Chains A and B, each alone.
Chain A
Amino acid sequence: MISKKIIHQNLTAWFYLLPNLSGFLLFSLIPVVFAMTLSFFKWDVFNDPEFVGFQNFRDLLGWTNTDGKLSFNDSDFWKYLYNTIFLMIGIPLNMLASLCVAMLLNRKMRGISFFRTIFYLPTICSGVAVYVLWACLYNPEFGAINKMLGMFGINGPGWLTDYYWAKPSIIMINLWAAMGGTNMLLYLAGLHGISEELYEAANMDGANSFQKFIHITIPMLAPTNFFIFVMSVIAGFQGGFDAAFILTQGGPAGSTTTLSYYIYNHAFGWFNMGYAAAISMILFAIVMCVTVINWCFGGENE
């Protein structure tokens, strides 16, 4: 029943698909399967792999109860998971800031494109250069920030060298870089899409600006919000490597190590490949759960 036409169609389709699909197989699918298998082995690249079953996961997630005291097998993992989640506090902050900036720009004014260009500059500047710049600005002895605070008589904290200030410092760098960035442009486009009539109707009903914001702007921006939030969360779980590597090498007493930096250390620092694969599997599971939850939540709103 398979006619020549269908065979021909299939062949053409596969011909178009081939470059992308071969790359997908070689660099996405096979590695994922490889990583899943690797997480059940102990492998040191220089020697032969050794099958250990679930031992890696037990070492990673398990806990022991000795003399009534609960102690985790790998307490560092939970700490770095906490670090990763803490750094994602920046996401709602970024979104709010971008929205505010977009609303400021969303009016007929002279020089709009000038401001838009300036706000977009930090996004253009590449990640590593931005981190190097801020490492110098944050320097407790010689950096500009502490010097400026010193002019007002405030004794600035150690920023990136201080255990409690390291993560907020990184959140602030991300805020500076993302404030007027791609998110803001997306919000601008979304705001353009809200028709004026809604606002006029609200005006006639006697709503003040705050009520207009809550009841019109935010609901109408829901799809944009959802898209930005999901993408940011997925990126957030995998991120923090560049900052940890360049700025703090994992931070004072491990306070800026994120999961991806931890995986890198285990894989390419100490060559515990199986263990690193196990951690990445856990990361994968977390990201999948979060995306699915988001989809259920966001899908309803749509």
Chain B
Amino acid sequence: MSKYKSKALFYEILMYLMLCIIGITTLFPLLWMLATSLKESNADISNLSAVIPQKAHWENYKTVFAETSFLRAFLNSAFVTISVTVGQVFTSSLAAYAFARMKFFGRNQIFLGYLGTLMIPGAVTMIPTFIILRNLGCINSYSALILPSMFSAYGTFMLRQFFLSLPRDLEEAAMIDGCDSWLIYVNVILPLSRNALITLFILTFMGSWKSFMWPLIVSHSTDLYTLPIALAKFKEMFGTQWSLLMAGSVIMILPMLIIFIVGQKFFTKGIALGAVKG
């Protein structure tokens, strides 16, 4: 009996050890980034023994904010990401509701078209979208950053599958009470599908925050740069001053990190549950 217990204990310790090792490999680069960002501007970063800097040079962060418009880039990113996410969730849920619950002319054909575009690589639509926006005079403006990403077939697809799986009793009860489709949508469907909506919200938010290639093509004034573009430009200008570069990276990661730690429960529960149900 005790042999079994000690074997189980041995396994427990082994599991903990492996988890710790994986945790260290995951955390080490991030901690290194933080440590390097506090080193002196032109120090010899190669000296490994000086991984932990003697003195924390917080003025690196001040330099980064002064030399580039990181604050503006952050506000831009926030604005664009929120617009894209809210827009996408809103329009996708409306369209998914129509696909799932309403009969109309051409419903299945159009939905098949949506599915088809899921497979289209971004590179295919990149060039024509650029030309279309140019002819509308929108290049180098917020509309170019927000509009193309606001419509997603993936969101519509996922939400439609989810809506289809909802039981119809509540809706039928509401219809008997005399609610029209809009009231049903707001009061019945939306509350029930909270998990799926949150999942879509989170996925779109992260995707839009990280988006690099499209803003690279359409944003040309410094006023319009989003965080990834600002960081890339910073790297091209100050590339060899690593402490400043790492400070810039930390600034870029920090907001997402804070949101994540605060809303942890939403993240993990939302993604797992939403995906399983979907």
Q: Could you give, for residues 216-253 of chain B, a 1 whenever the CB lies within 8 Å of some chain A CB and a 0 otherwise?
A: 11000000000110011001000000100110110011
Contact partner of B95 (CB less than 8 A), chosen from A16, A29, A237, is: A16
Q: Once the chains bind, are A193 and B126 in contact (CB under 8 Å)?
A: no
Q: Could you give, for residues 85-111 of chain A, a 1 whenever the CB lies within 8 Å of some chain B CB and a 0 otherwise?
A: 000000000000000010011010100
Q: Once the chains bind, are B104 and A13 in contact (CB under 8 Å)?
A: yes
Q: Once the chains bind, are A132 and B249 in contact (CB under 8 Å)?
A: yes
Residues of B within 8 A of A160 (CB): none
Contact partner of A23 (CB less than 8 A), chosen from B26, B98, B105, B151, is: B151
Chain A residue with Cβ nearest B28: A144
Q: Which of A66-74, A195-203, A280-288 contacts B (4 or more CB under 8 A)?
A: A280-288
Interface size on B, residues (CB 8 A): 88
The reply to whether the CB of A264 lies closer than 8 angstroms to some CB of chain B is yes
Q: Once the chains bind, are B123 and A283 in contact (CB under 8 Å)?
A: yes
The reply to whether the CB of B1 lies closer than 8 angstroms to some CB of chain A is no
**In A102-153, which residues have CB < 8 Å from any B CB?**
104-105, 107, 109, 113, 115-129, 132-137, 141-144, 147-148, 151
**Minimum CB–CB distance for B77 against chain A, Å:** 9
Residues of B within 8 A of A126 (CB): 209-210, 227-228, 252-253, 256
Q: Once the chains bind, are A127 and B210 in contact (CB under 8 Å)?
A: yes
Q: Once the chains bind, are B117 and A125 in contact (CB under 8 Å)?
A: no
Contact partner of A9 (CB less than 8 A), chosen from B48, B102, B122, B126, is: B102
Chain A residue with Cβ nearest B242: A136
**In A1-28, which residues have CB < 8 Å from any B CB?**
9-10, 12-14, 16-17, 19-21, 23-24, 26-28
Residues of A within 8 A of B206 (CB): 123-124
Contact partner of B125 (CB less than 8 A), chosen from A32, A117, A234, is: A32
Residues of A within 8 A of B125 (CB): 27-28, 31-32, 35
Residues of A within 8 A of B121 (CB): 237-238, 260, 280, 283-284, 287
Q: Once the chains bind, are B119 and A186 in contact (CB under 8 Å)?
A: no
Chain B residue with Cβ nearest A182: B271
Q: Which of B29-37, B55-63, B64-72, B171-179 contacts A (4 or more CB under 8 A)?
A: B29-37
Q: Once the chains bind, are B232 and A128 in contact (CB under 8 Å)?
A: yes
Q: Once the chains bind, are A101 and B22 in contact (CB under 8 Å)?
A: yes
Contact partner of A118 (CB less than 8 A), chosen from B23, B92, B105, B153, is: B23
Residues of A within 8 A of B110 (CB): 17, 21
Q: Once the chains bind, are A128 and B212 in contact (CB under 8 Å)?
A: yes
Q: Once the chains bind, are B153 and A24 in contact (CB under 8 Å)?
A: yes
Q: Once the chains bind, are B122 and A260 in contact (CB under 8 Å)?
A: yes
The reply to whether the CB of B264 lies closer than 8 angstroms to some CB of chain A is yes
Q: Could you give, for residues 175-210 of chain B, a 1 whenever the CB lies within 8 Å of some chain A CB and a 0 otherwise?
A: 000000100000000000000000000000010011
**In B122-148, which residues have CB < 8 Å from any A CB?**
122-129, 131-132, 147-148
Residues of A within 8 A of B94 (CB): 16-17, 19-20
Residues of B within 8 A of A190 (CB): 276
Residues of A within 8 A of B231 (CB): 128-129, 132
**Minimum CB–CB distance for A94 against chain B, Å:** 14
Residues of B within 8 A of A166 (CB): none
A-B contact pairs, 19 of them (CB 8 A): A9-B104, A12-B181, A16-B95, A16-B98, A17-B95, A17-B99, A19-B95, A31-B127, A117-B264, A121-B257, A126-B256, A133-B29, A133-B32, A142-B44, A148-B48, A193-B276, A264-B213, A281-B124, A287-B119
Beyond contacts A148-B48, A238-B121: 16 other A-B pairs, Cβ-Cβ < 8 A, are: A104-B18, A109-B16, A113-B268, A119-B22, A124-B206, A127-B210, A127-B228, A129-B249, A143-B46, A147-B46, A185-B275, A245-B213, A245-B232, A260-B213, A276-B127, A280-B124
B-binding residues in A (CB < 8 A): 9-10, 12-14, 16-17, 19-21, 23-24, 26-32, 34-35, 38, 45, 101, 104-105, 107, 109, 113, 115-129, 132-137, 141-144, 147-148, 151, 176, 179-180, 182, 185-186, 188-190, 193, 227, 234, 237-238, 241-242, 245-246, 259-260, 263-264, 267-268, 273, 276-277, 279-281, 283-284, 287-288, 291
